[in-house]
């Protein structure tokens, strides 16, 4: 099961407050019982979803476009070697 979204965690809390069991919540949301248990712990906030950070690309989109234009400009350039 992928990571739960903020909305899914909120639905889990609402359903639990309505008196539903972990099994009922799991069937209705598609989350595992472990995810439900983790979500219902007191120290887990309903934080907004943030994009996961990662290594930034070495080439900008402009650089990539320039390389593609160079390669597509002629057949001889597609066969260039490193020599």
Question: Could you tell me the sign of the dihedral formed by the alpha carbons of 25, 29, 33, 35, in that order?
Answer: negative
* pLDDT exceeds 90 at position 21: yes
CA neighbor of 38 nearest in space, from 64, 72, 73, 13: 13
Q: What would the pLDDT profile of 58-81 be if each residue is shown by its tens digit?
A: 899 999 999 889 888 877 766 766
Whether this model's pTM surpasses 0.95: no
């Amino acid at each position: 099961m992928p990571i739960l979204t903020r909305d899914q965690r909120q639905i889990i809390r609402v359903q639990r407050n309505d008196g539903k069991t972990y099994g009922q919540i799991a069937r209705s949301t598609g989350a595992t019982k472990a995810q439900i248990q983790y979500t219902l712990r007191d120290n887990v906030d309903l934080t907004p979803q943030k994009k996961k950070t990662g290594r930034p690309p070495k080439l900008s989109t402009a650089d990539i476009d320039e390389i593609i234009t160079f390669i597509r400009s002629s057949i001889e350039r597609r066969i260039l070697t490193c020599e």
